[in-house]
Amino acid sequence: AQSVAQPEDQVNVAEGNPLTVKCTYSVSGNPYLFWYVQYPNRGLQFLLKYITGDNLVKGSYGFEAEFNKSQTSFHLKKPSALVSDSALYFCAVSRYYGGSQGNLIFGKGTKLSVKP
């Protein structure tokens, strides 16, 4: 069965410091990995995805994520956090198997709080 774990309910970072939001996954076959951000009372916004190729993926708003197959992780990172990055972040996985993509499985979300 597919699953996604976001081990931290909340991450606190000072503005200007690097941030990391952790995600590990379990899926059979080739994983498709995604990060989304949600601001209060809004829908989810797509940040970035890994399908294949370079393990380091760059996305919107200066975010990037590194796919690590041996550790089954896909951590979200940003070199310098902004107060406006404060939001709820979701990791999601689907598997590509038999020529088609399965539905997304979401983690429970990590609340990022960036203090000035």
Other beta carbons less than 10 A from residue 31's beta carbon: 21
Q: Tell whether residue 49 is a contact of other proteins (CB under 8 A).
A: yes
Which residue's structure tokens are 């902004």? Answer: 82
Number of chain positions touching other proteins (CB under 8 A): 20
How far CA 43 is from CA of 5, 46, 72, 109, in Å, comes to 21, 10, 27, 14
Q: Tell whether residue 90 is a contact of other proteins (CB under 8 A).
A: yes
**DSSP for 14-37, written as a single string:** ETTS-EEE--EEE-SSEEEEEEEE
- Quick one: which segment of 21-29, 56-64, 78-86, 106-114 binds other proteins (CB under 8 A)? 106-114
Which residue's structure tokens are 């989304």? Answer: 36
The residue among 51 and 83 lying less far from other proteins, judged by its C-beta, is 51
- Quick one: which segment of 39-47, 59-67, 69-77, 79-87 binds other proteins (CB under 8 A)? 39-47
Give the residues lining the site for other proteins (CB under 8 A). Answer: 32, 34, 36, 41-46, 49, 51, 88, 90, 94, 101, 103-104, 106, 108-109
